[in-house]
Amino acid sequence: MDDIINNTEKLSEYLKKMIIDTLRLEDIAVQDIETDAPLFREGLGLDSIDALELVVAIEKIFHVIIEDEDVGRTAFASVRALATFIQQEKQES
């Protein structure tokens, strides 16, 4: 897993697949998710329940904690923001 976490491009692709699998987004493919597009509202159109499911999945897979709503809002701004958040948290641990 470290080789994925240390490579932003691989991590972004992994996160896209994880989002699709976790939220069971059957009509969306990895290539349909733009790395810099918002995940909520105008981007993928995810909602607060989706956010909770993703928080649980990310904490379980990557062993990082999304402490509160403010941290979550920043981390879930886009796939790139989420990858950056995970990389920073793993460097600090």
Q: Where are the domains of the chain?
A: 2-92
Q: Which residues of 2-20 are buried (b: 16+ CB within 10 A; e: fewer)?
A: eebbeeeeebbbbbbebbb
CATH number given to 2-92: 1.10.1200.10
Residue with tokens 């329940």: 49
Q: Quote the pTM value.
A: 0.93
Q: How far apart are alpha carbons 87 and 22 in whole angstroms?
A: 20
Model confidence at 49: pLDDT above 90: yes
User: pLDDT tens digit string along 74-93?
Assistant: 999 999 999 999 999 999 87
